[in-house]
Amino acid sequence: MMTFKGSIVALVTPFKKGKVDFDAFQQLVEWHVASGTHGLVPCGTTGETPTLSTEEHKSIVKACLEAANGKVPVIAGAGSNATDKAVDLARFADKSGADGILVVTPYYNKPTQEGMYQHFKAVNDAVGIPVILYNVPGRTGVEISVETVVRLAALKNIAGIKDASVDLGRPLQIRVALGDDFIQLSGEDATVAAYLAQGGHGCISVTANVAPRLCADLHNAWAKKDWKNFERARDALLPLHKALFIETSPSPAKYCLSRLGKIGEELRLPLVPVTPPTRQKLDEAMEFAGIFKTGRKTLKKAGKR
């Protein structure tokens, strides 16, 4: 089994004239592999998955697996607020050769802790690959409790959690309860340093879409206890972490990728392109990180303050 740690990118889904742009998607995956990204998540929140048809979703997972070609692990998004659909997507990912699946807590229907347990158990029972729970209460309206995580961890395939909670006590509580073998991945780029210090193993990252090498550098430095380079990468990334959420993600990330010449900026409604003031802030944040030059006087580069 491939290990899930370090900088794992929550991939955007490129569109062109309303269709999934598979050529651009393949090139994105190849860029991430070449840039040192440690893992790939197609069809997560950042991939605008709620706007995808089931056929598109499955085609993107297959395209990601083909482009990655076994070089880095692929954790396929398989989330839905309908358990039967989540099971279907999970089975497809398993049969297609995904290394793991990412399953979000059911959104909108607001299940109880018992409902969440039964939802994830149904997915667990349907597959033979690692299942990563996904806790993101800011988007789903529910939060899976530490107690429910511990209960789920007793099941065969529940291997870890992506946690986008603001409570940075959770990773330490989970680590104490379940040990270091239970995979813990941050879902919040801006607090990843604190998350790692509390027992985390990596981050499923939005920022890695735009700065894959710098995000990989951060996690490589952490693993080597190279604190000088860790701090350099951490500080360089901070303005970008913040700017990428000025407006609803992944609109800012798609703008940045369009500026870098990787994909078009196209989104699917109800998401829309970012406003001109946000564009300027994103340009400045990319320049601060050393991945883009605006040609304007802007923030000083990281390490030169």
| 228 catalytically annotated | no
Spatial separation of the C-alpha atoms in residues 235 and 187, rounded to whole Å: 18
For position 3, what pLDDT does the model report? 86
- Indicate if 162 belongs to the active site: yes
Single-letter amino acid code for the residue at 144: I
Q: Is the dihedral of CA 7, 287, 26, 274 positive or negative?
A: positive
pLDDT digits (tens, 9 = 90+) for 199-247: 999 999 999 999 999 999 999 999 999 999 999 999 999 999 999 999 9
Query: Reduced to 3 states, what is the DSSP secondary structure of residue 304?
Result: coil
Q: Residues with Cβ < 8 Å from 59, sequence gap 6 or more? A: 20, 22
**Statement: residue 305 has pLDDT above 90:** no
Asked if 143 and 167 count as a contact pair (C-beta separation under 8 A), the reply is: no
- Tell me how far apart the alpha carbons of residues 109 and 285 are, in angstroms, rounded to a whole number: 37
User: Backbone phi, then psi, for 78, in 5-degree steps?
Assistant: -140, 35
Percent of the chain whose predicted confidence (pLDDT) is above 70: 96
How many CA atoms within 13 Å lie on the side-chain side of 70? 2
- Please determine, for residue 279, whether its predicted confidence score (pLDDT) is greater than 60: yes
Q: State mean pLDDT over 46-53.
A: 98
Is residue 297 pLDDT above 90, yes or no?
no
Q: Mean pLDDT of all residues in the chain?
A: 96
DSSP category for residue 165: -
Q: Which of 5, 162, 254, 281 is catalytic?
A: 162
Alpha helices, DSSP H, located in the chain: 22-35, 54-68, 83-96, 113-126, 137-140, 146-152, 170-178, 192-197, 212-224, 227-243, 251-259, 276-289
Domain covering 6-223 in this structure, CATH number:
3.20.20.70
- Close Cβ partners of 3 (under 8 Å, ≥ 6 residues apart): 73
Q: Is the pLDDT of residue 302 over 90?
A: no
User: What gap in Å lies between CA 190 and CA 61, rounded to an integer?
Assistant: 27
Question: Active site residue: 5, 62, 117, 134, which one?
Answer: 134
The confidence score (pLDDT) of residue 303 equals: 47
Report, as an integer, the average pLDDT of 288-304. Answer: 69
Q: What is the pLDDT of residues 84-117, one digit of tens each?
A: 999 999 999 999 999 999 999 999 999 999 999 9
Spatial separation of the C-alpha atoms in residues 142 and 135, rounded to whole Å:
8
pLDDT of 130 strictly over 90: yes
Domain boundaries, the chain: 6-223
- pLDDT in the model for residue 301: 54
Report the pLDDT value the prediction gives residue 298, as an integer from 0 to 100: 52
